[in-house]
């Protein structure tokens, strides 16, 4: 645990402002957990939907860190946000309600949104009180988003949107869906052309949201159908025809964040605490724990490098794909490693709960945000190998 904690704090060396911020987040989480009784969870950024927690986090100043003060945010950098999100994930806090809006929608609004959209949405995001889902994947278009068939046709004062999105996380609880749709006919020679994005209120006429339920009965995902939904010109997100460029830019934030390496961190940390309690680990246990920690530290350094690139305004699409590939494979493998390590230990209800969640969510780690197989192609293309 000492090595792992030191690794997290290393980001703050010679950066006292970040160190102070990290300690402030830790103090907030300790106090909030004591008062409200939430438990650390695996994959808390997907399943930990707690609007009250998100509002408290916003009131404490830990949401919307990169949003300018003029829009209700804090005007800080990507590294400040990285420190906060890292602490939230390591402690398995219930962050799902505000997560997508803060991580993905806010940067998109700042880069591509209209001034009216920024004024309308960014203050609510920074307050931790606006929830957004992302409508990209379809039944025939998962990682290959160029195969998207949802269409928007121009009409008086706006667009008529039709199509179906699937695996739409949190849509049943969100205020809006950010939808990628075709706005011009498909061109076989230019597969990525002709897409646009739209901000669609979940309560709009013609929107139907149906659950996609996990085997455990948990409801995180949805199938969302748009039946001639009217979307006003004011809710066009960015420029018509620029949707592909916008989406790939947004995916850098989705794929490179600490959630791609820390979804199972609460489980790993809890297991290390149990295994190290009162006795020295045997050689095999020590080696397995050392391997987990070493891989986590290395992946974290790669993820931080992407955060620094984004902070400098650079393009990190290739590095983000690499973080997502390596990080989610680590998350997937860590569940089995921890299960083996705990096989000979006494039953621990909290660990058993997190381990069960880890096994349930394990297949999703390498799928969401683009399958790892496709992302390896992105990395290869970025390296000039294909």
Whether 5 shows a pLDDT value over 60: the answer reads no
Structure confidence by residue, pLDDT tens digits, 337-362: 999 998 878 888 999 999 999 998 88
Structure confidence by residue, pLDDT tens digits, 180-229: 999 999 888 898 999 999 999 999 999 999 999 988 888 999 999 999 99
Q: To 10 degrees, what angle do helices 265-275 and 317-341 make?
A: 30
Structure confidence by residue, pLDDT tens digits, 85-103: 999 999 999 999 999 999 9
Q: How many domains does the chain have?
A: 3
Q: Would 247 be classed as within a structural domain?
A: no
User: Among 177, 212, 241, which residue terminates a domain?
Assistant: 241
Verify that 172 and 261 share a domain, yes or no. no
Verify that 227 and 296 share a domain, yes or no. no
CB 88 within 8 Å of CB 102: no
Verify that 374 and 264 share a domain, yes or no. yes
Verify that 125 and 149 share a domain, yes or no. no
Verify that 142 and 171 share a domain, yes or no. yes
Q: Which position has the higher pLDDT, 368 or 27?
A: 27
Verify that 355 and 276 share a domain, yes or no. yes
Instruction: Give the pLDDT confidence score for residue 255 in this predicted structure.
Output: 63
Q: What is the pTM of this model?
A: 0.89
- Mention every residue, 6+ apart, whose C-beta is less than 8 A from residue 176: 132, 133, 199, 200, 201, 202
Verify that 350 and 263 share a domain, yes or no. yes
User: Among 130, 147, 167, which residue terminates a domain?
Assistant: 130
With bands split at pLDDT 50, 70 and 90, how would you rate the model's confidence at 148? Answer: very high
User: Among 199, 217, 241, which residue terminates a domain?
Assistant: 241
With bands split at pLDDT 50, 70 and 90, how would you rate the model's confidence at 13? Answer: very low
State the residue range of the domain holding 305.
257-383
Instruction: Give the pLDDT confidence score for residue 10 in this predicted structure.
Output: 53
Query: To the nearest whole percent, how much of the chain has pLDDT over 70?
Result: 92
CATH at residue 198? 2.40.110.10
Verify that 175 and 230 share a domain, yes or no. yes
Whether 312 shows a pLDDT value over 80: the answer reads no
Verify that 116 and 168 share a domain, yes or no. no
Instruction: Give the pLDDT confidence score for residue 282 in this predicted structure.
Output: 82
Verify that 368 and 264 share a domain, yes or no. yes
CATH at residue 282? 1.20.140.10
Q: Would 271 be classed as within a structural domain?
A: yes
Verify that 235 and 162 share a domain, yes or no. yes
Q: Which position has the higher pLDDT, 146 or 109?
A: 109
CATH at residue 74? 1.10.540.10
């Amino acid at each position: 645990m000492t090595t792992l904690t030191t690794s997290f704090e290393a980001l703050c060396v010679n950066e006292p402002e970040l160190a102070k911020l990290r300690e402030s987040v830790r103090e907030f989480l300790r106090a909030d957990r004591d008062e409200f009784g939430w438990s650390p969870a695996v994959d808390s950024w997907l399943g930990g939907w707690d609007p009250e927690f998100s509002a408290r986090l916003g009131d404490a100043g830990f949401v919307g860190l990169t949003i300018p003060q003029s829009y209700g945010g804090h005007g800080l950098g990507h590294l400040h946000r990285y420190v906060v999100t890292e602490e939230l994930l390591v402690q398995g806090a219930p962050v799902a309600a505000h997560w997508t809006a803060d991580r993905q929608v806010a940067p998109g609004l700042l880069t591509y949104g209209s001034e009216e959209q920024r004024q309308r949405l960014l203050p609510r995001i920074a307050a931790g009180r606006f929830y957004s889902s992302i409508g990209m994947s379809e039944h025939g278009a998962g990682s290959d988003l160029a195969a998207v068939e949802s269409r928007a046709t121009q009409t008086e004062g706006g667009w008529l949107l039709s199509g179906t999105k699937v695996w739409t996380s949190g849509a049943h609880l969100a205020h809006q869906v950010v939808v990628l749709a075709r706005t011009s006919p498909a061109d076989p020679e230019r597969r990525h052309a002709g897409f646009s994005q739209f901000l669609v209120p979940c309560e709009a006429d013609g929107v139907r949201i149906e659950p996609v339920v996990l085997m455990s009965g948990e409801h995180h995902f949805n199938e969302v159908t748009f039946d001639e939904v009217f979307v006003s010109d004011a809710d066009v997100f960015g420029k018509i025809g620029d949707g592909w460029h916008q989406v790939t830019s947004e995916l850098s934030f989705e794929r490179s964040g600490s959630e791609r390496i820390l979804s199972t961190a609460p489980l790993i940390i809890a297991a290390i605490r149990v295994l190290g309690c009162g006795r020295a680990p045997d050689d095999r246990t020590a080696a397995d724990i050392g391997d987990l920690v070493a891989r986590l530290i290395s992946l974290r350094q790669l993820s931080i490098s992407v955060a620094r690139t984004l902070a400098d305004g650079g393009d990190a699409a290739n590095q983000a794909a690499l973080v997502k590939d390596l990080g989610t494979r680590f998350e997937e493998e860590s569940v089995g490693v921890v299960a083996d390590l705990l096989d000979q230990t006494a039953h621990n209800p909290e660990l058993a709960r997190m381990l069960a969640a880890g096994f349930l969510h394990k297949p999703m780690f390498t799928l969401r945000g683009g399958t790892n197989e496709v992302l390896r192609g992105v990395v290869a293309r970025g390296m000039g190998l294909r």
